[in-house]
Amino acid sequence: MITIDSNQIELKSLQKKYQNAIIADVTYAAKDYLVQLSPLYPHGGIPVPNSGCTTANSVEAIWQGLKIFEYEDIDTSLFTKENAKELNRSSSKLGKMLGHRFGINGLEVLNYADARRRIFIRSYRWVLDYKVQDIIKQLRDATKSQTIVLLDNHVNCDIYNYNEPLSHAYLVKAYVEGLPPYEDAFETITTHHYYAGRRVISWTTEERRVKTIKSCIMPQQLELSLDFKGEIL
């Protein structure tokens, strides 16, 4: 089982609250390889939704770069930045935020709810699929026998709560466990069985298993490997 909590809570308090659990920070402040689960981590080569072959170094670079403000449109220069401190774009300097442009040449401007679904959730899913599968496997194996507490800057685990930033740690949990919006990370396989004795008896069983991820090579294929239209599967 995976649960989510705040990385602002003292470790001693967390250990008392979650006895015998594995407590893991998955923010950009993490001191180990789990930092790779942060949307700020510069994996590189992440497809920018609805933007052809354009890629970015991090999910946060995509999220910030596609923002449009009263005095400034999108900023594609953020896509190549690796320093997380250089990614923030503030309305205090750029005027009122108007939304997110759906793609670098897109005409559609998304509101916050649609941008979360069609940009952030989808871009982060690509990272989970193609950049951190070794970590995901470790988490899936560990959850079979232990409770894991993922620490995040935000603890909003409701993908439809738009009043608070969504916890990316929850998206990790959703992917590991097959919960919305990543329930399609698993698939149900129906197996047919037969017994041939004096008479043939047949029956079927269903097995829920992790879906095999198809490898992708070209940026165009990488983008097409996900549905960027925004429907939550």
Residue pLDDT, tens place only, 51-69 = 999 999 999 999 999 999 9
* Domain-embedded: residue 23: yes
* Domain-embedded: residue 197: no
* Residue 107 vs residues 60, 68, 102, 104: alpha-carbon distances, Å: 21, 12, 7, 9
Prior bond of 180 cis (ω within 30°): no
* Domain-embedded: residue 198: no
* Domain-embedded: residue 8: yes
* Domain-embedded: residue 229: no
Residue pLDDT, tens place only, 114-146 = 999 999 999 999 999 999 999 999 999 999 999
Structure tokens given for 14:
């967390």
Residue pLDDT, tens place only, 138-162 = 999 999 999 999 999 999 999 999 9
Query: Are residues 36 and 132 in contact, defined by beta-carbon separation less than 8 angstroms?
Result: yes
Q: What is the residue type of 226?
A: L
Query: Are residues 51 and 62 in contact, defined by beta-carbon separation less than 8 angstroms?
Result: no
Q: How many domains does the chain have?
A: 1
What is the domain range of residue 175? 2-188+211-224
Spatial CB neighbours of 71, under 8 Å, sequence gap ≥ 6: 94, 95
* Domain-embedded: residue 195: no
